[in-house]
Amino acid sequence: MNAPDLTQRPPRSPRIRLGGYTVLPRILDKARAALAGRLGDYKFNNPLDNVLFGFAGVTAEAFLAQAKTGAGDFEMLQWLNAQAKKAPHEIAAWSAWTETFVENDVETREWLVGRIKTMDARRTDIGSLFDYLDLDDYLSFGGQP
């Protein structure tokens, strides 16, 4: 298994797609890093991961067990597709939604705005969860605001 060391670099951006799914490559990086003990500050099976798991109808435990077999990205995609049984247009619609996802509850939205201000108050372009994650990954590994 080729596990990334997430103490040294971030997982892939949530925007990167595999088989049309956003977030999937990022979750694969985190699953493999978790199995190798190199997850760093990242969390596998976090709320965003669960958005994909819920859509695909799989559990985090089943996903991790499949990753533990050493399956590569393509094999993991084949496994996920076999579980999910989603049409390409459903995957495309879901991925489009995730790319623009903004927390609707006031508490979470306020937390997100506060985090962005702490990271770089000048960044008025950060509007979605994916924007936030990309900025956080960049700054966490030495990027300058």
Domain ranges of the chain: 1-99, 102-145
Burial of 129 (0-12, 13-18, 19+ CB in 10 A): buried
pLDDT above 90: residue 107: no
pLDDT tens, position by position, 40-69: 999 999 999 999 999 999 999 999 999 999
pLDDT above 90: residue 126: no
Give pLDDT, residue 60: 98
Question: Is the whole-model pTM more than 0.85?
Answer: yes
Average pLDDT on 99-117 reads: 84
Give pLDDT, residue 102: 77
For residues 35 and 132, which has the higher predicted lDDT (pLDDT)? 35
